[in-house]
Amino acid sequence: MKTQIRMGCFESNSSSMHSVVTSKTTGIYTPEEFHEDVYIDKKGEWHFYGFSLDFGRSPYEILCTFEGKVRYALASLCGIYLDEEIIEKNYSEIERIIFKYLPDCKDITFTRQYKRKYIRETDGEAFSWIEEDEGDYEPHGEYDYRGRVYGDDNTYYFKCMEYEYDDTGCVDHQSMGVLYDFLEKNNVSLEDFLTHREYWVVIDGDEYCEFEKQCKHRIINVDNIASVFPVPTP
């Protein structure tokens, strides 16, 4: 029996390879470093935009600043795949840390997005997808519409609820739990992760393996790396 191993080959199911790296360079950021790449307007608001909070398998990045790690923490610990209760808890902690170390920041804001939820009125069943016909809509509240969808021989009446939410981004499903697992298994607080220079995050994909190549060719000072999480598999 033969086993074929393909490396460096783009696959249709390619996934992200995010890592949390602990370096041997320790210490908290300086006040100037806390403000690196942070833009706070005259109202004291730090704005986050949706495109900056999405972390997939590309582009290849190393997040080593307070600003970069805050963005990753928001996407990873407050992203769209999590329950509202978990999001609120994590968001409150990130917000507390931001205000503590950036005293000139009074608020943080996000790109607003819309969600729609369709509920069939006959039995309360939710539709994941329906054919919409604008002619079937009747206003029923500010963000509430009634309509109908045709299925086989039946006509189902539904109610559409539309609401706004903060776009706190997302992390690719393959790497979604990396940050949480790192903090939990290494007994590192979120505050230490965000504010100490020894922790940084690598955004990579298994069809690129840029971090591995840079370490192999010593473009990155591997002697300064204490650990990589999760542990790379040969």
Residues of the chain with pLDDT under 70: 1-13, 115-163, 233-234
User: So what's the pLDDT on residue 134?
Assistant: 40
User: So what's the pLDDT on residue 161?
Assistant: 63
User: So what's the pLDDT on residue 122?
Assistant: 60
User: So what's the pLDDT on residue 150?
Assistant: 47
User: So what's the pLDDT on residue 186?
Assistant: 97
User: So what's the pLDDT on residue 160?
Assistant: 65
Distances (CA, A) of 162 to 15, 132, 143: 32, 14, 5
95: number of Cβ within 10 Å: 15
CA–CA distance, 159 with 139 (Å, rounded to integer): 10
Q: Which long-range contacts (CB under 8 A, 24 or more apart) does 160-164 make?
A: 160/116, 160/117, 160/118, 161/116, 161/117, 161/119, 162/114, 162/115, 162/116, 162/117, 163/114, 163/115, 164/112, 164/113, 164/114
Query: For the chain, what are the domain ranges?
Result: 19-111+167-229, 113-166
pLDDT tens-place string over residues 66-97: 999 999 999 999 987 778 889 999 999 999 99
User: So what's the pLDDT on residue 158?
Assistant: 63
| Of 91, 54, 24, residue with least CA distance to 203 | 54
Q: What backbone phi and psi angles, to 5 degrees, belong to 23?
A: -100, 170
Distances (CA, A) of 137 to 140, 144, 146: 9, 10, 6
